[in-house]
A and B are shown apart, each in its own frame.
Chain A
Amino acid sequence: MCVGLPARVIRIKDGIALVDASGAKREISAELLDDLDPGDYVMVHAGLAIAKITNNDENETDRIMEEL
């Protein structure tokens, strides 16, 4: 049950977003995020977008290893 799904926002209206999670589309609540646009990626838990995803893992981990 406690699994985060990364998903791409297709459209958003009145705090409800239609998202695409690896091909599966469904509506989720996006009322906790106020700066979402179509094309953004979000992390979804139990039907709720809890955070915006701002980078990809490749770039991020490369930077962390450079800083180490």
Chain B
Amino acid sequence: MKDEKKTAREIIETYNGPAIRIMEVCGTHTHEIFRLGIRSLLPDNIKLISGPGCPVCVTPVNFIDEAVFLAQKRQVTICTFGDLVRVPGTVGSLAKARSEGARVEVVYSPMDAYLYAEKHKTEQVVFLSVGFETTTPASCLAVRKAKQNHLENFSLLTANKTMPQAYQTLKGSADAFLYPGHVHAVMGTTSCEELVREGISGVITGFTAKEIVTALAVIIIKHREGKAFFKNCYPRVVTAAGSKAAQQVMEEVMEPCDAEWRGLGTILQSGLKLRAAYETFDARIKYTMPKLVGHSNTACRCGEVLQGKCYPDGCILFGKTCTPEHPVGACMVSHEGACSAFYQYGGIHHG
């Protein structure tokens, strides 16, 4: 039976060629692949590796330390996405700081933080701006609006990151990437096409069972042809150009900078910071942030998990001292983290 007559599932289940390592970059892909039972379809020679696409997981310890510093030493109100609250810093988490009297508000969006600041003019409000190209436009819109409306009690502590540089850093970790669909909904497909010229293969896909299974089948077929490839398997959301409006607001408000990724170290020009025109909204400048050097638990292997160098249950802390209720590492805190997924669904090594 020829492949074109097979379904995507049959292509995967009957694959008997050389081993293929596929890195699912996005944390939501990791969780959906577990939740949908897709790992159970995979033969032993298809390895799925969880990558660095969970923004909470790749945020370094010193960012948490900076947030705790602002909350405790500068008495600001921290507005944040909920899963950052429990990420351990060097001394403690934002949850611990809150239990000691710091003001920490959980918000759904940067605009909600803006609205909180507008309603609480007597408080100084700092939004923890983490995220990739998916969430960065929302932070930029909030800051631009704050500038337009002269909202002076609002600022950002930035740790925004961009994905293409991470793909290059992880080039040798996988034979192909499952690219995060919504990053490319914003940025378009140009960077993926450029990566093909560097020998980096990948497929953009969505998050339903059919989309993920189809993408894996496409990788198997294209990989067999023996040369680098790219395919957009999610054109219902991802266009070649992406969102020009989102790209423009990011370009207007932020500029590239070097960024530290938990586990990957500093990747040149892989971060975003506020441009000089918006520096009054930069919490590091506004509150004269000292240089903080964070230290994570030395037994925690989140850094290796994020590079695909070990599975979560290869960490001595996994499921023992590190659980979703009492996380030690960021990958266990965030619902999108690989350790959280392995713990929740009972990780399977093969596939």
Do A and B come from the same complex?
yes
The residues of B that contact A61 with a CB separation of less than 8 Å are 8, 210-211, 214, 233
With A50-B182, A54-B236 given, can you name 6 additional A-B contacts, CB distance below 8 Å? A2-B27, A46-B110, A51-B186, A57-B211, A65-B8, A68-B217
* B contacts, CB < 8 Å to A: 3-4, 7-8, 26-28, 53-56, 81-84, 108-112, 130-132, 134-135, 137-138, 141, 181-182, 185-186, 206-208, 210-211, 214, 217-218, 221, 231, 233-239, 243, 245-246, 249, 334, 336
Instruction: List the 7 closest A-B pairs by CB distance, nearest first.
Output: A47-B109, A1-B81, A55-B236, A32-B245, A51-B185, A48-B138, A61-B214
CB distance from B98 to the nearest CB of A (A): 18
User: What are 17 A-B pairs with beta-carbon distances under 8 A?
Assistant: A1-B55, A1-B84, A1-B336, A2-B55, A2-B336, A29-B141, A31-B245, A32-B137, A32-B245, A43-B185, A45-B135, A46-B81, A46-B110, A48-B137, A48-B138, A56-B236, A68-B221
How far in angstroms is the closest Cβ of chain B from A30? Answer: 11
Q: Residue of A at shortest CB range from B232?
A: A64
Cα(A60)–Cα(B8), bound, Å: 13
Interface pair A1/B135, CB less than 8 Å apart: yes
| Chain B proximity of A55: nearest CB distance (Å) | 4
Known A-B contacts A2-B55, A32-B246, A61-B8; the reply to A48 vs B218 at CB < 8 A is no
Do residues A46 and B236 form an inter-chain contact, with CB atoms below 8 A?
no
Does A29 contact B138, Cβ atoms closer than 8 Å? yes
Asked whether any CB of chain B lies closer than 8 Å to the CB of A38, the reply is no
